A and B are shown apart, each in its own frame.
Chain A
Amino acid sequence: MLVAVACVALALLAAPASAQRFGAESFTLGNGMQVVVVPNHRVPAVVQMVWYKIGAADDPLGKSGIAHFLEHLMFKGTAANPPGAFTSSIARNGGRDNAFTTQDYTAYHETIARDRLDLVMRLEADRMTGLVLDDKVVLPERDVVLEERRMRIDNEPASLLAEQLRATLFLHHPYRNPTIGWVNEIRLLGTEDALASYRKWYAPNNAILVIAGDVDSAEVGPLAERYFGPIPPQSLPARVRVEEPPHYAAARLEMKSARAAQPQWNRSYLAPSYRAGEAAQAYPLQVLAEILGGGAGSRLYMTLVLDRGLALSAGAHYSPSTIDLAIFGLNATPKPGVSVADLEAAIDGELRRLVRDGVDPDELRRAKERMQAASVYARDSLSGPPNIIGAALSIGQRLDEVEAWPDRIGAVTAPEVDNAARSILVERNSATGVLLPEPTS
């Protein structure tokens, strides 16, 4: 066992992962648009991502879902590229394109052969200001979003409960609203709502261009200047988000559904992010999530699934990549015959043990090594690095922070993890959701 451990340590030392994880380069155009280039010469291809600093948490009151709806509508064409031309000209050149929306940002991306980079840059630059919308294309797309909502959420009891749980965890902050929007509000979204949001937020000085692949900044620079450079910046409104007030009572939701296959247990705690709360805890909390519920070697899996046979699955998750407060989450599925109450009591026992005794140095070291290895694996992909970098910059992190992630994880100490655990695993800052199957009559 000792020999093996020494091997792992050597492997990680040998991995060129430290100061420059991705070797990304960054510069800013005259109009304020940030450009990041992530060289990756394994495949003669590029990924372009344009990230707008506007997300669902910026949706105006009563217009939940408008950021996501606008993302759909961005494929509806411009004067220069009529409906359908965007995607078909990318497909004709062997490329793929898509987009996604989160609470904090909206991102558009294309993957294409390296020698077609100028095509996708021209297309993205064109739709940054040239979008043309009318009811004829907007209204059917609203139905598409409603079908998307039915598929992802309304047809899935666990997703419905997760949505309600989020709205319970955040008492006031807009993270309480689903990114796709509440169904009653999606139904009322219209062309003018989308255009208003578009005019307000889609501007080069509110966007980040990330290009990854078989290119370098000497090549990307002039192209970015040529296509995005001429777009004038505009004055941006402040992103006003209400602050989450202190919590005084834990929340608990129980949902019974005939469509649920088996009981499920979830708990979310309010937690700091890279940008909010005790931001220094963001790194120790990532290590904590790995130790507590990162995989088959984690405390929750080992104890609840393997040792005590109480659960079919158990895990923890935490992502600090949000502008405002993050969620530290736990989940478990009880083994048939085990009550949710017994499962929950066992999880609470594990949490108490953690808060009381802290983590042990060996499990801390092993968790950090796994995470650093994952960081090497992250480079074995064309789209992984630009996703990681774009998300970080979109929430206001600096590129050097992203590059230093493995070192920052490596520097986390046991007392830091223990302190972070003690400060976030607080009952009044939690919301617990229980999904129970209901026999059909």
Chain B
Amino acid sequence: MHKSVGLALLLLLWASGAGAMTIERVTSPGGIEAWLIEDHTLPVVSIRFAFPGGAALDPPGKGGLAAMTMSLLDEGAGPYDTAAFKTRLEDLAVDVRFTAGRDEIGGSLRSLKANLSEAAGLLRAALTSPRFEPAAIERVRGEFVASLSQQAHSPHALSDRLWMRDAFEDHPYGENVNGTQTSVSAITREDLVGFAGQRLRRAGLVIGAVGDVNADDLAALIDQVFGGLPAGGGEPPVAETKPAENGGVLITRRPVPQSAVTFGQIGPKRDDPDWYAARLVNDVLGGGGFRGRLMQEIRVKRGLAYGVSTDLVSFRHAGVILGSVATENARVAQSIALIRAEWRRMRDEGPSEAELDLAKDFLVGSFPLTLDTSARVASALVEIQLENLGIDYLDRRAALFGAVTLDQAKRVAHTLLDPDRLSFAVVGDPADLTPTRIVPDPGL
């Protein structure tokens, strides 16, 4: 087995009594790479992994295929039917999860060290020999339909759906990751088997591992889990795109006391050199806690909402700055007007030096504190690989934010934010709000 210590990063945040920890780049005998942070303080191991290509590749009319396939992987595999597989995981106190996003599919494993080898065997079975039994397919389909129906009754799920569909009308990003009740009903067993065979491949696979396992044992383990997957990959390309920005207000009427609002416009992609400046501007404008200007204007000064925030959402092929708020129907128009006004003020004036400094201090200082569980650290290792940020990213992160100047932040605010192109999707029964369009239920 070949193992190289990648840049011997001093991970100060994971400093044990025995000394600072490093991210190791572990390559298995079978040629699969994983990043590892060893930590022997608890007999626990967390592993995260991701394959390139997610729900954006769902075939037309089969929305939800990626998500449904991933949901079925732990519903029976190898020699185990659903009940046996789930019981086995429970008896070993092993947590195995599979997920689907727009651009990736993936999963996680958490196990006590003593059960790690058996846990790996179960994960291998789920990835390489899922059974896709008809009864399990129908049950999981039923869960999807029920959950979609639930979302179709949830104002916020609907306003998100409405905004995304309008912004990405001709792109798969406009589709719901879990599909619609109609599309998941059209998915066949052949679709699921085909998806697993085509998408669960070694090319592009990224892995992060944290906890009570050394590099040699991890190398053997990743071969055990992933070595049986076909080599190659080459998922079909997804088109680069930008959200439509019409500055509109869409309304779907629902008899609820409080309107849910999703709003946003084009944002930077993660590899945009201005991403760090944009992330800081976003924090000044729509940061959580009580830092953001929106939170001050809408919650603290006027009591218009419990929360309001914005985020940079970076898809692989598009960037969005996306926010949400919820205000009683009678006053939601006021919230929307305030958001547009703050959008304009930030575009015109940018952040102040004090605001920018606060955002830097917060984003730099708070990040390590979020990495307090082995699972969160393993997720960070996977994210860093997916975004190609480099194995030394955690070392460089503070400097990348620190280097953003006030002038740069003002320039980015000015080019990024456009109050006249900021679009809103509203679900509820808002008063005194003139829609550019009343749209029918977006359907889920």
Interface positions of A (Cβ within 8 A of B): 4-5, 7-8, 10-11, 14-15, 41-45, 75, 83-84, 87-88, 91-97, 111-113, 139-144, 146-148, 150-151, 154-156, 258-262, 295-297, 302, 305-307, 309, 312-313, 333, 335-336, 366, 369-370, 373-374, 376-377, 379-383
Q: Which residue of B lies closest to A86 (CB)?
A: B290
A-binding residues in B (CB < 8 A): 12-17, 39, 41-44, 46, 82-83, 86-93, 110, 112-115, 118, 135, 139, 142-143, 145-146, 149-150, 152-155, 254-258, 260, 289-291, 296, 299-306, 326-328, 358, 361-362, 364-369, 371-375
Q: A141-B303, A376-B42 are in contact. Are A92 and B358 (CB under 8 A)?
A: yes
The docked-state distance in angstroms from the alpha carbon of A301 to that of B142 is 15
**Which one of A296, A374, A376 has the greatest number of beta carbons of chain B within 10 Å?**
A296
| Given A306-B82, A379-B42, A7 contacting B258 (CB threshold 8 A) | no
Asked if A305 meets B139 with Cβ closer than 8 Å, knowing A259-B255, A366-B90, A376-B42, the reply is: yes
Query: Which one of B115, B145, B305 lies within 8 Å of A144 (CB-CB)?
Result: B305
- Among the listed B16, B149, B304, which residue makes an inter-chain contact with A261, where contact means beta carbons less than 8 Å apart? B149
Would B326 and A151 count as touching, CB distance under 8 A? yes
Would B361 and A336 count as touching, CB distance under 8 A? no
Decide if B290 touches A94 in the complex (CB within 8 Å). Answer: no
B residues near A41, Cβ cutoff 8 Å:
16-17, 41
The smallest beta-carbon distance between A148 and chain B, in angstroms, is 4
Q: Are B290 and A75 in contact (CB under 8 A)?
A: yes
- Name the residue among A42, A94, A382 with the largest chain B CB count within 10 angstroms: A42
Across the interface, name the chain A residue whose C-beta is closest to B110: A377
Shortest CB–CB separation between residue A183 and chain B, in angstroms?
Answer: 10
Q: Is the CB of A376 within 8 A of B155?
A: no
Bound Cα distance from A375 to B287, whole angstroms: 34
Q: Is the CB of B366 within 8 A of A96?
A: yes
- Among B92, B326, B362, the residue within 8 A (CB) of A8 is B92
Contact A380 B83 (CB under 8 A): no
| B369 CB contact (under 8 Å) in A96, A333, A379 | A96
A108 to chain B, nearest CB (A): 14
Q: Is the CB of A42 within 8 A of B291?
A: no
Beyond A150-B257, A312-B142, 16 additional contacts (C-beta under 8 Å) are A8-B115, A15-B112, A42-B16, A75-B290, A88-B358, A92-B361, A143-B303, A151-B326, A155-B256, A258-B255, A296-B86, A309-B135, A370-B93, A380-B373, A382-B372, A382-B373
Once bound together, how far apart are the Cα atoms of A42 and B17, in whole Å? 8
Q: Which residues of B have CB within 8 Å of A88?
A: 290-291, 358
Query: A155 to B155, Cβ gap below 8 A?
Result: yes
> Which residue of A is nearest B74, CB measured?
A296
Q: B114 and A91: CB pair below 8 A? A: no
Q: Is the CB of A312 within 8 A of B146?
A: yes
| Minimum CB–CB distance for A249 against chain B, Å | 33
Q: Which residues of B contact A146 (CB under 8 A)?
A: 303, 328
Contact of A14 among B16, B114, B257, B327 (CB under 8 A): B114
Nearest-neighbor residue (CB-CB) of B145 within chain A: A336
Distance of A148 Cα from B306 Cα, bound (Å): 5
> 4 tightest A-B contacts by CB?
A94-B365, A143-B303, A11-B114, A373-B93
Decide: A44 and B291 in contact? CB cutoff 8 A: no
The 27 listed contacts between A and B (C-beta, < 8 Å) are A8-B114, A11-B43, A42-B16, A43-B369, A75-B290, A87-B289, A144-B306, A147-B327, A151-B306, A155-B257, A155-B258, A259-B256, A261-B150, A261-B153, A262-B146, A262-B149, A296-B90, A297-B87, A305-B139, A306-B82, A306-B139, A307-B83, A312-B142, A336-B145, A370-B90, A377-B110, A380-B44
In the complex, number of A-B residue pairs with CB atoms less than 8 Å apart: 201
Kindly provide the distance from the CB of A391 to the nearest chain B CB, expressed in whole angstroms.
19
Could you say which of B39, B149, B364, B369 has the most chain A C-beta atoms within 10 Å of its C-beta?
Answer: B369
- In the complex, what residues of B have CB within 8 A of residue A259's CB? 153, 254-256
Whose C-beta in chain A lies nearest to the C-beta of B256? Answer: A155
Closest to B326 in A: A151
A297 to B257, CA, bound (A): 39
What is the CA–CA distance of A42 and B11 in the complex, to the nearest angstrom? Answer: 11
Closest residue of chain B to A41 (Cβ to Cβ) is: B17
Partner of B303, one of A84, A139, A150: A139
B369–A297 touching, CB < 8 Å: no
Q: How far is the CA of A302 from the CA of B257 in the complex (A)?
A: 39
Select A4's contact among B16, B91, B152, beta carbons within 8 Å.
B91
Instruction: Please report the C-alpha to C-alpha distance between residue A80 and residue B291 in the assembled complex, in whole angstroms.
Output: 20
Q: Is the CB of B374 within 8 A of A376?
A: no
Given contacts A43-B368, A84-B290, contact A140 B303 (CB under 8 A): yes
Among B90, B115, B300, the most chain A Cβ lie within 10 Å of the Cβ of B90
Asked if B373 contacts A7 (CB within 8 A), the reply is no
CA separation between A253 and B291, bound complex, in Å? 43
Which B residue sits closest to A137, measured CB to CB?
Answer: B300
Bound CA–CA A366/B91 (angstroms): 6
- Given known contacts A44-B12, A140-B300, A295-B90, is B115 in contact with A7 (CB within 8 Å)? yes
A4 to chain B, nearest CB (A): 6
Across the interface, A95 reaches (CB within 8 A) one of B42, B112, B369, namely B369
Question: Contacts of A313 on B, CB cut-off 8 Å?
Answer: 143
CA distance A366 to B90 in the complex (A): 9
Q: Which residues of A contact B88 (CB under 8 A)?
A: 4
Q: Which of A144, A366, A380 contacts B42 (CB 8 A)?
A: A380
A45 touches B368 (CB 8 A): yes
| A113-B364 Cα distance, complex, nearest whole Å | 11
A346 to chain B minimum Cβ distance, whole angstroms, is 16
Q: Tell me whether B362 and A91 are in contact (CB under 8 A).
A: yes
* Nearest CB on A from B140, distance (A): 10
B364 CB contacts on chain A under 8 angstroms: 94
CB nearest to A98 among chain B residues: B289
Nearest Cβ on chain B to A86's Cβ, whole angstroms? 9
Minimum CB–CB distance for A303 against chain B, Å: 10
A155-B155, A309-B139 in contact; A142/B328 too (CB < 8 A)?
A: no
Residues in B with CB closer than 8 Å to A312 are: 142-143, 146
